[in-house]
Structure 1
Amino acid sequence: MMNCEQATQLLSVGMERKLKLKEQAELKMHLLICSGCRQFAQQVQQLRTIIRATKDSSDKPEEKK
């Protein structure tokens, strides 16, 4: 069974690369029983959203006034 340290590490690694099927399954099982890691997963998702939004806005050329 995966522990919280392993779960949070996989959640972080998941920001950099796609998790393997076995990693995804083990992480899902852990998240079903661990509310602390579920909360951390939500925070990681929020960070992803913010980073993407920031990246998208910085990719657009600025309008000259």
Structure 2
Amino acid sequence: MMMCKEATRLMSLRQDRPLTFQERLSLRLHLSMCSACRECDRQFTLLHEAGRRYHPEHDDAEQGDDGH
């Protein structure tokens, strides 16, 4: 059985590259039994989506041309 530390490593890794079949299967099995890791996975997904939608050029326009 996979430990939570390995599960969170795979959740993070999944944001950067596709997991192998074995990694996906192991993570899916762990998530089916661990509510804490399911919540962690939900938060990883939320943070990744927020980062993907962030556009720093909007901050520059709000601060003015001199950065203040």
TM-score normalized with structure 1 length: 0.81
Identity %: 34
Q: CA deviation at 1:58?
A: 4.7
> Structure 2: which 5+ runs fail to align?
62-68
CA displacement 1:32-58 (0-9 Å, x = unmatched): 00000000000000011101111xx45
Query: Which structure has the larger Rg?
Result: 2
**2:4 match:** 4
Q: What is the letter of the counterpart of residue 8 of structure 1?
A: T
Residue-pair matches, total:
59
Query: Larger RCO: Structure 1 or Structure 2 (Cα < 8 Å, ≥ 6 residues apart)?
Result: 1
Q: How far apart, CA to CA, are the structure 2 residues paired with 1:3 and 1:44?
A: 18
Q: CA deviation at 1:15?
A: 1.1
Q: What is the letter of the counterpart of residue 31 of structure 1?
A: L
